[in-house]
Amino acid sequence: MDKKQALYLAGAFAAAVSLGLPAKSGIKCKGAALAGQNGCKALDNSHSCAQLSTRDCDPNDWEIAKDRKACEKAKAQCKKEAQQKNKF
């Protein structure tokens, strides 16, 4: 890879990051992140960065999931963990 190609790839990566596009492959799984464990900015723009969510399983916050089945499993796990956390 020459210098021009490296700069092009670095620019493309920077653009993807600035747009909030996920670096991992998969789907955005909304409502599957515990507070402070979200993947990136909120869908409603209430915050602009990863790990800034304040509510468990907020539908505006997301995590990357492999597919819909994995997403549904992650949502169920999030709700279960949130309930356990709020028992104390």
Q: What average pLDDT does the chain have?
A: 79
Quick check: pTM over 0.75? Answer: no
- pLDDT for position 84: 87
Residue-range domain boundaries for the chain: 25-85
Let me know: does 26 contact 64? Beta carbons within 8 Å: yes
Give pLDDT tens digits for 23-61: 567 898 999 988 888 888 888 888 888 888 888 999 999
Residue 75: which residues within 8 A CB-CB, separation 6 or more?
Answer: 29, 31, 32, 57
